[in-house]
């Protein structure tokens, strides 16, 4: 398996049903923020993402953790608003943040999963560390040249997943 390929692929995070979560079987879900739960540069949760978070909290025993490579008031605000623990400056795709989170919640790698929209940080990081990886498409594509280039680079992998 390529380290760039996720174990699961959903369109948006809110397309992951309670049934899907059972099948995936993770006790700990690590959540990316930008473009997974919020639109890029938006400080509010997407309403559907907010609903999804409530569903997971109310209907499952799954522990949620927010893990972002940025560390700003937005992450803090969102995490505190939804009473979800968070780790900023996570340095995905490096393993240090993943290790810290799993240790904190005393969860084995086989019981943890990451959900994110970026292959080179969320998916690569999760695969290198050895947890289940779940790719979602960005809530809204970014417009800067850098992000456009990154998206282009991701296309060959996305094509492979769809096959």
- Contact positions vs Mg ion (CB under 5 A): 32, 34-35, 117
- Taking the complex as a whole, how short is the minimal distance between the CB of residue 37 and Mg ion, in angstroms? 9
- Taking the complex as a whole, how short is the minimal distance between the CB of residue 143 and Mg ion, in angstroms? 15
The tokens of 19 are what?
């049934």
Dihedral sign from CA coordinates of 94, 98, 99, 100: positive
CA neighbours closer than 13 Å in the CB half-sphere of residue 67: 31
Nearer to Mg ion, 33 or 112 (CB): 33
Residue nearest to Mg ion (CB): 34
Nearer to Mg ion, 21 or 32 (CB): 32
- Taking the complex as a whole, how short is the minimal distance between the CB of residue 93 and Mg ion, in angstroms? 12
The CB density around residue 106, as the number of other CB atoms within 10 Å, is 8
Nearer to Mg ion, 34 or 131 (CB): 34
Contact in structure between 104 and 64 (CB atoms under 8 Å): no
Nearer to Mg ion, 90 or 102 (CB): 90
- Taking the complex as a whole, how short is the minimal distance between the CB of residue 135 and Mg ion, in angstroms? 11
Nearer to Mg ion, 59 or 71 (CB): 71
- Taking the complex as a whole, how short is the minimal distance between the CB of residue 162 and Mg ion, in angstroms? 20
């Amino acid at each position: 398996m390529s380290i760039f390929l996720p174990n699961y692929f959903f369109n948006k995070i809110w397309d992951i049903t309670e049934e899907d979560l059972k099948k995936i079987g993770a006790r700990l879900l690590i959540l990316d923020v930008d473009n997974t739960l919020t639109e890029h540069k938006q400080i509010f949760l997407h309403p559907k993402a907010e609903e999804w978070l409530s569903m997971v909290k109310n209907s499952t025993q799954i522990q949620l953790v927010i893990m972002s490579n940025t560390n700003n008031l937005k992450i803090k605000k969102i995490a505190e608003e939804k009473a979800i623990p968070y780790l900023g400056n996570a340095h995905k795709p490096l393993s240090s943040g993943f290790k810290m989170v799993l240790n904190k919640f005393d969860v084995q790698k086989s019981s943890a999963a990451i959900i994110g929209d970026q292959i080179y940080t969320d998916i690569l990081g999760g695969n290198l560390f050895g947890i289940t990886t779940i790719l979602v498409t960005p809530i809204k594509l970014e417009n800067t040249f850098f992000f456009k280039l990154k998206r282009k680079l991701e296309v060959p992998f996305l094509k492979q997943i769809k096959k």
